Structure 1
């Protein structure tokens, strides 16, 4: 097994929930860590079973940035291997930059280990592809504006004008507003939609519908966090075969 540098912090993407969906590299680092700071209830705590019995595990749910930084810095100064266990794939809504900048003030570097995002976990739960030949060849990943605003040009309404596949994070608590923006932006009312609660977890829940009824179903189910909203014709019945395995297709790009 590879060894890792205790002079820097390792930010590890924990995967979407299923503890077997952490990457092999992420597992190897986690199993050697002396200090693990994990992202509260957003992390499946079964992942902590991969840690050494003597590892210090800290829940960051009630910690602010300075406290998290102090845990990381003190661990590094003590010569310990420190892991910051983030949700999903830390390249999406991961707040890595601000944590990295705080570490930099102490002369400490960091490395990022990619994880499996929940938008991929949600698609696997549904058994769908976001890109469907002649239906959709693009995916928009976004969120509704809230306490963290979104740039004006990146509003859900503006993205809806493309009518392509969309995965909307951190927004299920305002699903009525999301639906209004999607419709105002250009999606037809009959556009298929799905909400996946805790994708790949044991208690995953899936709700399917369209833009006329998805909000009502989600509210009836009491889902108001830890869920993805998926919208687009990729969720429908229309499908065209890819040319990739066509007998007449060149094999150069297989």
Structure 2
């Protein structure tokens, strides 16, 4: 079997139990070397073959998978965070389907969740935002026009922006078409890792904050009132009745 495995945001202790077990059993681990910390790779058994996918093209990755599959050996394709978010696994699965090679997907902890933990906030705030938008700025990978940041900003929901910190000035410009300049922002670099860093401020100064911090990659931009707003859930209020408790 071939497994697409989420490596989590970087902290090896945030691997799922299933992900750790598969790394312990794998004969071949193909990993995103530019993103997966070496500490995570230390979870592999010493005799496993470890291949950095960064210099490889799709055909080379698939050929490696097929070779080990034919040997009836276990293959782990290791992606950072959760494979379903910006994991580029679709074309790999299509190629395996065409070859008749079975595979499974093992979810992981996404960096946008680790980022929320880093800033100690809830994306969904009782009485506040109930919507989380996960997106990115258009770059070499295009974004549908109706999903441009300027359009999404009109919702003023809680937003986690991937793969865009290197274009912070453009991010700021587009978001200001929907959010007020004093909207809270946070930039979380290398969430959950020893080098984790959090920069906070207001949307109107986002580009300056990022430039001053020297952050160019491996960071998420968080935007929204959830970063400072507070709410109180009805769930634990004594006046609130639900299936398991009567109001007091």
Alignment counterpart, residue 210 of structure 1, candidates 197, 202, 215: 202
Q: Quick check: 1:15 aligned with 2:8?
A: yes
**1:251: which partner in 2?**
242
Residues 73-88 of structure 1 mapped to structure 2, 5 A cutoff: 73-88=66-81
Aligned residue pairs, count: 245
Alignment counterpart, residue 104 of structure 2, candidates 111, 136, 139: 111
Q: Deviation at 1:53?
A: 1.4
**1:235: which partner in 2?**
227
Q: Deviation at 1:251?
A: 3.3
Moved over 2 A (4+): 250-254
Q: Deviation at 1:253?
A: 7.5
Alignment counterpart, residue 39 of structure 1, candidates 32, 38, 42: 32
Q: Quick check: 1:60 aligned with 2:42?
A: no
Residues 253, 115 of structure 1: alpha-carbon distance in 2 compared, 3 angstrom cutoff: farther
Q: Deviation at 1:252?
A: 2.5
Q: Is the contact made by 1:35 and 1:75 (CA closer than 8 Å) also made in structure 2?
A: yes
Q: Quick check: 1:97 aligned with 2:90?
A: yes
Q: Secondary structure at the match of 1:207?
A: strand
Residues 211-226 of structure 1 mapped to structure 2, 5 A cutoff: 211-226=203-218
Q: Over residues 19-73 of structure 1, what are the superposed CA-to-partner deviations in whole Å (9 max), with x where a residue is unaligned?
A: 1001011111111000000011210111122211110000111111111111111
Q: Give the structure-2-normalised TM-score.
A: 0.96
Q: Deviation at 1:240?
A: 2.1
Q: Quick check: 1:128 aligned with 2:82?
A: no
**1:69: which partner in 2?**
62
Which stretch has the larger CA shift, 201-210 or 211-220? Answer: 211-220
Distance 2:224 2:16 in 1: 29
Which stretch has the larger CA shift, 214-223 or 76-85? Answer: 214-223
Distance 1:159 1:91 in 2: 21
Gaps (5+ residues) in structure 2? none
Q: Deviation at 1:105?
A: 2.1
Q: Deviation at 1:235?
A: 0.6
**1:4: which partner in 2?**
none
Q: Is the contact made by 1:207 and 1:214 (CA closer than 8 Å) also made in structure 2?
A: no
Gaps (5+ residues) in structure 1? 1-7
| Cα RMSD (Å) | 1.2
Distance 1:252 1:180 in 2: 47
Q: Deviation at 1:246?
A: 0.7
